[in-house]
Amino acid sequence: MDDKNLTIGDIAEELGVSKTTISRAISGKGRIGEKTRERVLSYIEEHNYRPNVIAKGLAQQKTFNLAVVLPGDYNVAELPFFQKCMLGISRVASAHGYDVLLSMVTAQNTKQLRRAVANRKIDGAILTRTLAEDEPMKFLLQSGVPFVAIGSTDDESVVQIDNDHRSACRELTERLLQSGIRKLALIGSDESHIVTKNRRQGFEDAFEKKKGWKGSRQIFTNVRENAQVQKIVEELIADGTECIVSMDDFLCGCVLNALQQRNVAVPEQMQVVSFYDSTLLEHQKPSVTSIRFDVEELGQKACETLLAMLEGESVELRTLLGYEVRMRNSTKKK
């Protein structure tokens, strides 16, 4: 028989034992004599047998599938983040013999995820966004399915992998204050997203450390549309604001467009900063001061952590990855 087509049944027949015995020898679990185990493993090695995923899954009570939970309400500006996350996750999963199943959810609709769990299609899951009121997270906690959250949460029982957004935003804001700016504004998106809260907190931390700073700041949150940004920018120009800080690149792009429409030069008349650095602004002129996070590394670390959990290893409950502040031309006055 061709070794490439060898099955557990063939091995069992050849060695005169049951298929259950072969499965136990392969998985290393269950009661089986040591001599029998060695006999089975020697035969497998001699014939270069590699169990297929289904057989391996049955032997180990695993599906070798991981669910990657994506928010169904993401916007176009967020797509590069999720793509890079997926790339990091997929590379690690593939290297360990796992496949990735995508599960789209919203705060109100978790049907895809619930169906995957109910049908026992997955061994674990990775959440790619954390919310203040997080229904997908609550469901996974109740179901007992091992999972890792990319992002932060106040629930200290949840394994979390995140970038240090708070420290990064504090450091960049401190640099702006050190440059002599006295009037600046922060524009942020949905406050139900934990990352929005962390970035805002980092911004405010910088002012607490700046003893004796004399200036003013304004904060706008829950800004979701270009029309809102247009109105805010109009107000800030009239108020004499020196620098506009955006929490993400979508909002920063809206700010830059609003300034261009009003013939306001960057950085001569208004400095511009983004608390994120994606491909959306990479060709922008002048180049935008921002914070770079390695999103692919984020996905890789999340997947490595989940796989360690599935193997019964102890893992850190919270891991914060680094960042790089990139000072560019949008904050460099001539």
Q: What does each C-alpha distance from 62 to 27, 139, 148, 214, 310 come to in angstroms?
A: 11, 21, 18, 61, 10
Sheet holding 216-220, edge to edge: 216-220, 183-187, 243-246, 271-274
* Domain at 3-60, CATH from 3.30.1130.10, 3.40.50.1360, 1.10.260.40, 2.40.30.20: 1.10.260.40
Domain ranges for the chain, please list them. Answer: 3-60, 65-164+295-323, 165-291+325-331
Instruction: Report d(CA 161, CA 151) in Å as an integer.
Output: 6
Instruction: Report d(CA 135, CA 145) in Å as an integer.
Output: 14
The residue type found at 92 is: V
Return the pLDDT at 5.
Answer: 62
Return the pLDDT at 283.
Answer: 83
Return the pLDDT at 54.
Answer: 46
The model's pTM is 0.77
Return the pLDDT at 50.
Answer: 61
Could you tell me if 271 and 242 are in contact, meaning their C-beta atoms sit under 8 angstroms apart? yes
- The closest alpha carbon to 138, from 114, 118, 161, 122, belongs to 114
Return the pLDDT at 106.
Answer: 81
In CATH, the architecture of 65-164+295-323 is: 3-Layer(aba) Sandwich (3.40)
Q: What does each C-alpha distance from 40 to 4, 23, 29, 35, 232 come to in angstroms?
A: 17, 10, 14, 9, 72
- Please identify every stretch of the chain with a pLDDT value under 70, giving residue numbers as ranges: 1-5, 27-30, 49-60, 333-334
State both tokens at 227. Answer: 């029309």
Instruction: Report d(CA 267, CA 186) in Å as an integer.
Output: 16
Instruction: Report d(CA 258, CA 228) in Å as an integer.
Output: 11
Sheet holding 318-321, edge to edge: 99-105, 65-71, 124-127, 147-150, 159-163, 318-321
Q: What does each C-alpha distance from 222 to 107, 186, 190, 316 come to in angstroms?
A: 17, 11, 4, 32
CATH 3.40.50.2300 assigned to 165-291+325-331: yes
- The DSSP-derived string for 294-306 is -HHHHHHHHHHHH
- Same fold across 3-60 and 165-291+325-331: no
Instruction: Report d(CA 130, CA 208) in Å as an integer.
Output: 27
- The DSSP-derived string for 19-59 is HHHHHHHHHT-S---HHHHHHHHHHHHHTT----HHHHHHH
111-146 pLDDT, tens per residue? 999 999 988 899 999 999 988 888 999 999 999 999
Q: Reduced to 3 states, what is the DSSP secondary structure of residue 324?
A: strand
